[in-house]
């Protein structure tokens, strides 16, 4: 019999309350403490760190895992991982439903392609550096998992959700003890790298007089930014926000059936297929959006059902929850033997991501070097939201194309990044061959990326 006063009824509410409460506390601290306010550390990261510290203190006093107590249902750590996994896909789906107006010129198409190639090339160089460090560590530390360095591009380049996905694959399929926490910790170090590296860069450029920071505005919005012409009313028999959430969930359910079918066809790739739930979620959302646009064009439906403003809010909500849950899910006790290696990987990831994206921005994006660099560096050490946070410091009104590049680059990045799926599965069994392929593919992508410079130089030599 169900008793409404049992922990089994309230445990999930307690868990969600802890996540949202830590976000509120993190926001208060960020507003109140000047250092945190100026650091650009996302509030979601602060919230996750707060829960991580509280959980560590609780374990130190009681010897128990705080989130695995009865108050959180006895398996709160697993639930945090599930929340992180689903929030990643839901955030991407909400972003995919947004519409982008305007036609692309030849120059803009080239810039978007270059941004997508830069994204994948950065994954590769992060993978090369990360695996290089852990392959050396495996020669020194007994039974160390040599392929763990490949979690650097998943943690830095793709964020908390993918770091958890592949950490879980390495832990369950290949016996890497603490793989999930290793991946989540790398992702957390990525957010710190974005914040610390971004602030240092902004201050250096400002002191050199090469950068003028954007004036902060009151954040007010115009009516047309919230509610565009031809859309369903904000409030009718069903609320407009309810419609957005319904579309997101339906798209996610469609993606589940896609994964179910692919998993049945390719049982050996099931863990990878379900690990890329966000990718199939984006595909299903895009298909639904195309169908809605077709029906709207044919006048079968009279109004537009998606709203960019509300989809952005939904996307940001899911990503905030993903980050705070992902950091809270880190098990510090299973990482005690890895801290030195993880810090080396984290610092190396910061340096190589900074240098490579700086070179690309200065070479290929001469019209808006700083904006492109900050957006890409922020995204490739954290998430797209982190990139936007850094971009707003120099381009508050998004006057440059840098913000659009982050949106559109997903299409070439997904196509070019697909080999990472194969390499991620191959790395534990063939680390040396994986490293060779990473280096070779990185070289090929750089030829594509710098094609205008390379082939222009050849023509001049002739």
Query: What are the pLDDT digits (tens) for 71-114?
Result: 898 999 999 999 999 998 898 899 889 876 555 667 788 999 99
Question: Using one digit for the tens of pLDDT, what is the confidence trace for 331-386?
Answer: 887 788 789 999 999 999 999 999 999 999 999 999 899 999 999 999 999 877 78
Of 140 and 103, the structure prediction assigns the larger pLDDT to 140
Measured between alpha carbons, how far is 371 from 403 in angstroms, rounded to an integer? 9
Measured between alpha carbons, how far is 48 from 80 in angstroms, rounded to an integer? 11
Q: Does 327 share its domain with 374?
A: yes
Task: Tell me: pLDDT of 212 over 70.
Answer: no
- Among 66, 86, 106, residue at a domain's last position: 86
Burial 97-114 (b: 16+ CB within 10 A, else e): bbeeeeeeeeeeeebbbb
Q: Does 153 share its domain with 254?
A: yes
Q: Per the domain annotation, does 172 fall within a domain?
A: yes
Structure tokens at 269: 């790739």
Q: Does 98 share its domain with 75?
A: no
Q: Return the number of other C-beta atoms located less than 10 Å from residue 366's C-beta.
A: 9
Amino acid 343: pLDDT: 94
* 429-438 average pLDDT score: 95
Amino acid 405: pLDDT: 86
- Per the prediction, the chain carries an average pLDDT of 88
Q: Does 81 share its domain with 97?
A: no
Range of the domain at 21: 7-86
Q: Does 319 share its domain with 417?
A: yes
Q: Could you give the angle at the alpha carbon of 136 between the alpha carbons of 132 and 137, nearest 5°? A: 115
The percentage of residues in the chain with a pLDDT greater than 90, rounded to a whole number, is 52
Of 42 and 249, the structure prediction assigns the larger pLDDT to 249
Q: Does 268 share its domain with 387?
A: yes
Q: Does 277 share its domain with 396?
A: yes
Please give the tally of structural domains in the chain. Answer: 2
Q: Of 21-30, 103-112, 267-276, which has the strongest mean pLDDT?
A: 21-30
In contact, 368 and 215? CB cutoff 8 Å: no
Measured between alpha carbons, how far is 232 from 314 in angstroms, rounded to an integer? 18
* 252-277 average pLDDT score: 89
* 298-307 average pLDDT score: 88
pLDDT range class, residue 203, cuts 50, 70, 90: confident
Q: Does 291 share its domain with 439?
A: yes
Q: Could you give the angle at the alpha carbon of 383 between the alpha carbons of 338 and 76, nearest 5°? A: 60
Show the DSSP H helices in 33-105 as ranges. Answer: 34-39, 43-62, 76-96
- Environment class of 314 (CB within 10 Å of its CB; exposed 0-12, middle 13-18, buried 19+): buried
3-state DSSP assignment of residue 304: strand
Q: Does 73 share its domain with 183?
A: no
Structure tokens at 86: 């689903």
- Among 40, 65, 86, residue at a domain's last position: 86
Q: Per the domain annotation, does 383 fall within a domain?
A: yes
Amino acid 3: pLDDT: 81
Measured between alpha carbons, how far is 153 from 326 in angstroms, rounded to an integer? 16
Task: Tell me: pLDDT of 235 over 80.
Answer: no
Q: How far apart, in Å, are the Cα atoms of 322 and each of 17, 89, 162, 180?
A: 14, 10, 11, 14
Measured between alpha carbons, how far is 206 from 199 in angstroms, rounded to an integer? 10
Its pTM surpasses 0.95: no
- Among 86, 113, 141, residue at a domain's last position: 86
Q: Per the domain annotation, does 29 fall within a domain?
A: yes
Measured between alpha carbons, how far is 3 from 14 in angstroms, rounded to an integer? 16
Amino acid 461: pLDDT: 59
Q: Does 22 share its domain with 150?
A: no
Amino acid 9: pLDDT: 87
Q: Per the domain annotation, does 456 fall within a domain?
A: no
Q: Does 202 share its domain with 293?
A: yes
3-state DSSP assignment of residue 208: coil
What number of CA atoms fall less than 13 Å from residue 268's CA on the CB side? 3
Measured between alpha carbons, how far is 344 from 80 in angstroms, rounded to an integer? 27
Q: Per the domain annotation, does 106 fall within a domain?
A: yes
Q: Does 252 share its domain with 318?
A: yes
In contact, 77 and 11? CB cutoff 8 Å: no
3-state DSSP assignment of residue 231: strand
Q: Could you give the angle at the alpha carbon of 120 between the alpha carbons of 117 and 122, nearest 5°? A: 105
337 contacts: CB under 8 Å, gap ≥ 6:
141
Q: Per the domain annotation, does 460 fall within a domain?
A: no
The percentage of residues in the chain with a pLDDT greater than 70, rounded to a whole number, is 93
365 contacts: CB under 8 Å, gap ≥ 6:
111, 114, 372, 373
317 contacts: CB under 8 Å, gap ≥ 6:
none
Q: Per the domain annotation, does 357 fall within a domain?
A: yes
Q: Per the domain annotation, does 17 fall within a domain?
A: yes
């Amino acid at each position: 019999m169900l008793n409404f006063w049992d922990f089994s009824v309230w445990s999930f509410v307690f868990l969600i309350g802890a996540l949202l409460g830590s976000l509120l506390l993190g926001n208060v601290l960020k507003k109140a403490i000047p250092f945190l306010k100026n650091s650009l550390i996302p509030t979601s990261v602060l919230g996750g760190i707060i829960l991580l510290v509280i959980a560590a203190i609780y374990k130190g006093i009681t010897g128990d895992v705080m989130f695995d107590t009865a108050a959180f249902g006895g398996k709160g750590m697993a639930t945090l991982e599930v929340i992180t996994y689903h929030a990643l896909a839901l955030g991407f789906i909400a972003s995919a439903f947004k519409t982008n107006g305007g036609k692309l010129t030849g120059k803009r198409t080239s810039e978007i392609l270059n941004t997508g190639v830069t994204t994948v090339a950065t994954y590769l160089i992060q993978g090369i550096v990360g695996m290089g460090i852990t392959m050396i560590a495996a020669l020194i530390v007994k039974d160390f998992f040599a392929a763990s360095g490949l979690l650097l591009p998943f943690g830095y380049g793709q964020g908390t959700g993918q770091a958890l996905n592949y950490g879980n694959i390495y832990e369950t399929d290949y016996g890497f003890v603490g793989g999930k926490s290793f991946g989540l910790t790398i992702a957390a170090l990525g957010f710190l790298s974005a914040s610390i590296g971004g602030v240092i860069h902004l201050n250096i450029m400002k002191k050199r007089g090469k950068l003028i920071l954007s004036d902060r505005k009151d954040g007010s919005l115009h009516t047309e930014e919230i509610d565009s012409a031809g859309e369903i009313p904000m409030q009718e028999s069903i609320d407009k926000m309810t419609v957005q959430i319904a579309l997101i969930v339906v798209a996610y359910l469609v993606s589940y059936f896609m994964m179910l079918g692919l998993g049945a066809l390719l049982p050996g790739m099931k863990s990878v297929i379900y690990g890329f739930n966000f990718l199939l979620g984006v595909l299903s959302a895009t298909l639904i959006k195309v169908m809605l646009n077709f029906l709207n064009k044919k006048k079968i439906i009279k109004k537009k059902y998606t709203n960019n403003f509300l989809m952005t809010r939904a996307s940001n909500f899911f990503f905030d929850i993903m980050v705070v849950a992902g950091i809270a899910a880190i098990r510090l006790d299973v990482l005690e033997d890895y801290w030195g290696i993880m810090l080396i990987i984290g610092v190396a990831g910061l340096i190589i991501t900074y240098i490579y994206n700086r070179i690309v921005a200065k070479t290929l994006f001469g019209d808006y070097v700083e904006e492109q660099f900050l957006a890409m560096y922020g995204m490739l050490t954290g998430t797209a939201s982190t990139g936007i946070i850094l971009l707003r410091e120099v381009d508050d009104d998004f006057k440059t194309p840098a913000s659009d590049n982050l949106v559109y680059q997903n299409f070439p990045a997904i196509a070019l990044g697909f080999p990472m799926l194969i390499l991620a599965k191959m790395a534990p069994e063939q680390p040396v061959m994986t490293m060779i392929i990473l280096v070779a593919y990185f070289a090929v992508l750089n030829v594509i990326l710098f094609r205008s410079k390379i082939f222009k130089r050849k023509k001049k030599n002739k």
